[in-house]
Amino acid sequence: MKEKDLLTLGFKETPKKHFYYHQQGDMIIIAEVMGQSFALLTSVAKRKELSSYLDRIVIHNPVVKRTYHQDSELVIITKKNVSVEAFKELLDNLYEVLKGCKCECRHCHQEKRVNVVYMDRSIELLCDDCSQLLKTNPSVKELRVGLGLMGSLIFGLIPALIWGFFNQIGMIISLTGILFGLTGYLGFRIFAGGMNRKGFWLSMLMTYIDLWIGEIIALTFSIQSAYTASVEQHVTLLESFRVLPAFLSDSEVLGVILAYHFYALILIITVYVIAHLIYKRRHSRPLETL
Q: What is the pLDDT of residue 137?
A: 62
pLDDT reading at 285 higher than 60:
no
Q: Which of 256, 248, 265, 263 is nearest to 205 (CA)?
A: 265
pLDDT reading at 90 higher than 90:
yes
Q: What is the pLDDT of residue 131?
A: 85
Give the CA angle between residues 254, 260, 264 to the nearest 5°. Answer: 135
CA–CA distance, 11 with 5 (Å, rounded to integer): 9
Q: 10 Å Cβ neighbour count for 239?
A: 13
Query: For the residues 225-233, what does the mean pLDDT come to?
Result: 69
CA–CA distance, 97 with 32 (Å, rounded to integer): 20
Of all residues in the chain, what percent carry a pLDDT higher than 90?
57
What is the residue-averaged pLDDT of the chain? 88
Bigger pLDDT: 29 vs 229: 29
Dihedral pair phi/psi, residue 76, rounded to 5°: -125, 125
Q: What is the pLDDT of residue 214?
A: 92
Where is mean pLDDT largest: 79-93, 215-229, 251-265?
79-93
Identify the bridge partners of residue 24 per DSSP, sorted by sequence position.
27
Q: Which of 261, 256, 248, 276 is nearest to 176 (CA)?
A: 261
8 A C-beta contact, residue 218 and residue 164: yes
In order of start, what are the domains of the chain with their CATH numbers?
Answer: 5-137 (3.30.1460), 145-289 (no CATH)
Burial 44-82 (b: 16+ CB within 10 A, else e): beeeeebeebbeebeeebebbbebebeebebbbbbeeeb
pLDDT reading at 44 higher than 90:
yes
Dihedral pair phi/psi, residue 122, rounded to 5°: -135, 160
pLDDT reading at 231 higher than 70:
no
* pTM of the entire predicted model: 0.57
4 burial (CB, 10 Å; 0-12 / 13-18 / 19+) is: exposed
Q: 10 Å Cβ neighbour count for 258?
A: 10
Bigger pLDDT: 167 vs 125: 125
Question: Which tens digits make up the pLDDT trace of 110-142?
Answer: 998 999 998 767 888 999 888 888 776 655 556
Label residue 232 by pLDDT band (50, 70, 90): low
Bigger pLDDT: 86 vs 245: 86
Question: Which tens digits make up the pLDDT trace of 196-223?
Answer: 889 999 999 999 999 999 998 988 888 8
Q: What is the pLDDT of residue 284?
A: 58
Question: Which tens digits make up the pLDDT trace of 2-24?
Answer: 999 999 999 999 988 999 999 99
